[in-house]
Amino acid sequence: MSEVQAGGWLERYAQLVGPGTLRALEALARKLHGHRLVMVNTTKTGGGVAEILHRVVVILNELGVPTTWEVMEGDERFFGVTKKMHNALHGHGEKLTSEDRAIYAERTRREAERLELDGDLILIHDPQPAGLISLRRSKAQRWVWRCHIDLSSRDPDHWEFLRPSIAQYDASIFSAIEFVPPLDIPTYLVPPSIDPFSEKNREMGVEEMLAILDRLGLPRRGPWVTQISRFDRIKDPLGVIEAFRMVRSRRRARLLLAGGGASDDPEGAEVLAEVRERAAKSKDVTVLELPPGSDIEINALQRASTVVMQKSLREGFALTVSEALWKRRAVVASAVGGIPLQILNERTGLLARSIEGAALQTVRLLDNADLRHDLGAEGRAHVRENFLHTREVRDTIAVLSSLL
């Protein structure tokens, strides 16, 4: 039986999820004793997957499941191809050329030789390293493909390139049922999760929060309504401003639109310019471009918010909602993508279908501290049970053990 290490991550998690949940996790992990797991992705830092792996690998090892993390390397040409692939699988991108295909195949072959894929369980994250399966070393190994992206609007050309590789896996995992393409291998659903101890989600005192607001040049006095999302049309930032104008005509409040994604994305820059232009014509609206790695700033901004909005037109899983709920914030969101799994209307937050609906729900929350408190408390409890890393580890163990 594995023991919880004093001062380890499991011990810290136990304080949040309780000893019963931890005991259950240990019992499930015993099913993988005697096996060795290798996780593979393409970056050690930056991005949601690396963030998850940093913590999950440690938790699995503390549970007695020997787990290593291999990072597939590539040059600029390879990552140019995988970036193209990533965009196309999200529904917007160029066709793959025969040169692109050759670059992908060649790098995959070289990396398959270099990487230490010596466990009997191999968990490959996302499309970039998916081709490694074609060089699998032993039939006894079990390979699982964990897709973190939404494939519902996938480009058929790119998917047809990837599909023969995916078909060789023993199983696949997707974050939500809406993201799953037709596949002939077992497919499981494991929602993503947040780390309550990361810079983005850790507890933060009021003094620290206010100091960050000061540093960002934001007035301390609210109430703040915020949407923290990259500047992208599908996040509907202009709709958020419109809804806020309706709110502002009835209540005193400030709107903050904060996010990244504008500096390296021409369309993002265009959206940001439009948002700035519209914001300039509106009272009490602030637009803030956040550089990558602004985790602690996001933490402070979410905590400073009286209402957090996520008025997207389309979404992936939208873990920003769980982040806000974890901080006991009152959330107004659209019922798209993974949001309805996180927001149960009138229980863990409020759903809206229109600009007027978003305005109405925001006014309700601004006016009613009890409602904000109740939704925030229930929202945090919902995240604790369903969207922390311990739950994702439990589900991943279940998938892997089902293949043995």
Site string for other proteins, 374-403 (x = CB under 8 A): ---xx-xxx-xxx-------xx-xxx-xx-
Under the criterion CB under 8 A, does residue 64 sit at the interface with other proteins? no
Contacts with other proteins in 86-145 (CB under 8 A)? none
Options 58, 216, 344, 371; binder of other proteins; rule CB under 8 A: 344
**Residues β-bridged to residue 256:** 226, 286
In the bound state with other proteins, the residue whose beta carbon lies nearer, of 101 and 347, is 347
Under the criterion CB under 8 A, does residue 178 sit at the interface with other proteins? yes
Site string for other proteins, 12-31 (x = CB under 8 A): --xxxxxxxx-xx--xx-xx
Helices first, then strands: H and E counts in the chain: 15, 12
- If residue 384 lies in a helix (H) or strand (E), which one and from where to where? helix 369-386
Output the CA torsion sign for 121, 186, 26, 1: negative
Question: Using CB under 8 A, which of the segments 69-77, 178-186, 229-237, 275-283 binds other proteins?
Answer: 178-186
**Rounded to an integer, what is the distance from CA 309 to the centroid of its chain?**
17
Which among 301, 319, 300 has a CA at the least distance from the CA of 310? 319
Three-state DSSP class for 155?
coil
Question: Considering CB under 8 A, how many residues would be counted as binding other proteins?
Answer: 48
Under the criterion CB under 8 A, does residue 181 sit at the interface with other proteins? no
Options 340, 357, 364, 371; binder of other proteins; rule CB under 8 A: 340
- φ/ψ bin of 139: left (φ > 0), alpha (ψ from -120 to 50), beta (otherwise): alpha
What's the rounded Cα separation, in Å, for the pair 244 and 236? 12
In the bound state with other proteins, the residue whose beta carbon lies nearer, of 51 and 378, is 378
Under the criterion CB under 8 A, does residue 189 sit at the interface with other proteins? yes
The nearest distance, CB 197 to other proteins, in angstroms, is 15
Under the criterion CB under 8 A, does residue 336 sit at the interface with other proteins? yes
In the bound state with other proteins, the residue whose beta carbon lies nearer, of 29 and 304, is 29
Question: Using CB under 8 A, which of the segments 42-50, 101-109, 177-185, 242-250 binds other proteins?
Answer: 177-185
> What Cα–Cα distance (Å) separates residue 264 from each residue in 44, 176, 231?
20, 28, 11
Question: Using CB under 8 A, which of the segments 69-77, 139-147, 299-307, 345-353 binds other proteins?
Answer: 345-353
Question: Using CB under 8 A, which of the segments 93-101, 225-233, 276-284, 336-344 binds other proteins?
Answer: 336-344
Options 102, 177, 273, 369; binder of other proteins; rule CB under 8 A: 177
What's the rounded Cα separation, in Å, for the pair 299 and 326? 11
Taking a C-beta distance cutoff of 8 angstroms, is the pair 53, 69 a contact?
yes
- DSSP for 96-154? PPHHHHHHHHHHHHHHHHHS---SSEEEEESSTTGGGGGG-S-TT-EEEEEE-S--TT-
- If residue 70 lies in a helix (H) or strand (E), which one and from where to where? strand 67-71
The nearest distance, CB 404 to other proteins, in angstroms, is 11
In the bound state with other proteins, the residue whose beta carbon lies nearer, of 118 and 385, is 385
Buried b (16+ CB within 10 A) or exposed e, 241-262: bbbbbbbbeeeebbbbbbbbbb
The nearest distance, CB 347 to other proteins, in angstroms, is 6
Output the CA torsion sign for 78, 82, 88, 93: negative
Taking a C-beta distance cutoff of 8 angstroms, is the pair 205, 211 a contact?
no
Q: Which residues bind other proteins (CB under 8 A)?
A: 1, 14-21, 23-24, 27-28, 30-31, 177-178, 180, 186-190, 314, 335-337, 340, 344-345, 347, 351, 353, 377-378, 380-382, 384-386, 394-395, 397-399, 401-402
